[in-house]
Amino acid sequence: MEQKATPGRAPTRAVVTGAAGFIGSHLVDALLGEGATVIGVDRRDPRTDPGAASNLAGALDHPGFTFVAADLRTCPLTALFLQADAVFHLAALPGVRSSWGERFAEYTACNVFATERVLAACEDVRVPRLVYASSSSVYGTTSGGATGEEIVPNPESPYAISKLAGEQLCLAHAGKATSTVTAVALRLFTVYGPRQRDDMLIGRALTAALGGPALNLYGEGSQRRDFTYVGDVVRAAIAAATAPIGTTVLNIGTGVTTTVLNVLAAVEELTGRPVPVNRLPTQAGDVEATLADNSRAVDLLGWKPRTALTQGVSRQLAHLNANSPQPVGA
Ligand code: NAD
Ligand code: UGA
């Protein structure tokens, strides 16, 4: 039987791929806060990319942090992973709706080929644990209830297919008789909070309410998501790095699902302003609903989501306001 984890323990030496991104930069901050030595790898270089610099503002001068600007499709990896207790593999092209058409070659290279390279390097230098950022999108359309990890995946976008392929690569590598790496794939459910990517709903709705461009509302707004706060996701990832469990797949979501229209209502309530919208058709690959059965993660990681949607959205609003000349709302 699998043992349960001690919540909150962090690895001593960690590598975070995708470190300059939304979730990766929060993970770097949390690991440094827990005393870990962290190597962050990303092809976005904070010396030339203002978004990356802003995300990593708290980490770049930290004595425990080393940033390496590199592309995982080509860069040498074993030297970076040599001393690591855990590699957190978050680097990927993350958009669902933008994964159709010409960009698919880049999606497969960054999300599948690079993941294979990361896994091979983990094996070469005997990294004990890889934590992989998988996606709720691997489930596709479901019956509407909470999805458990045992449900047969049914990915409905090129992105979702690439994330499922990455997850399967983790399982295949960890399953090799000669492999010493264990892999924990976390199926993250629509993550939000400060530094959220600017293609995502909550940031776009807040920006629209604050006077930015109107929100493109895809479909009727009746679609539902299990919106999960980034701080809760980061705690789960850290717990997954040290939990005394074998290779596995875990849902990281709240177990609560909310319609897009209800998110817009929450944003209007918090800002005291309307969210202007342009109505557009439902986008290919967007599923109607996601809802996590998170009981395996709760059981195996000793983890629980802590942040209610309005609390998390109000933190995201506070972060936007802190970077805006005209602060609005609560
Ligand atoms: P993000 O775009 O903010 O971060 C991803 C980072 O990976 C970027 O900084 C990018 O430059 C880097 N990257 C991409 N390809 C690379 C390459 N070839 N070499 C080096 N760096 C590369 O995205 P995010 O929202 O923080 O997502 C992080 C991870 O979590 C992704 O794997 C994504 O699929 C997964 N995920 C995100 C969500 C979500 O709601 N944000 C939900 C489920 C899963
Ligand atoms: C999010 C992330 O972007 C993916 O990286 C991740 O893999 C996925 O969650 C996941 O859970 O695995 P998504 O659920 O599409 O994808 O997140 P949002 O971009 O915040 O969209 C949520 C809903 O709002 C979708 O139905 C979308 O169609 C809608 N939306 C989004 C709009 O109507 N307008 C927008 O401008 C953005």
Q: Is 23 in the pocket of ligand 1 (CB under 6 A)?
A: yes
218 is catalytic: no
C-alpha torsion 229→95→271→20, nearest 10: 60
**Do 263 and 199 touch, CB atoms closer than 8 A?**
no
Q: pLDDT tens digits, residue range 214-256?
A: 999 999 999 999 999 999 999 999 999 999 999 999 999 999 9
Residue 5: pLDDT over 50: no
Q: How far away, in angstroms, is 262 Cα from ligand 2 center? A: 14
Q: pLDDT tens digits, residue range 168-185?
A: 999 999 999 999 999 999
Q: pLDDT tens digits, residue range 246-263?
A: 999 999 999 999 999 999
Angle between helices 309-322 and 201-209 (to 10 degrees): 60
Tokens standing for 14? 């960690």
Model pLDDT, residue 329: 62
Ligand nearest to the CA of 166: 1
Q: Is 223 in the pocket of ligand 2 (CB under 6 A)?
A: yes
Distances (CA, A) of 150 to 132, 242, 249: 18, 23, 9
Domains in the chain with CATH codes = 13-189+229-253+292-305 (3.40.50.720)
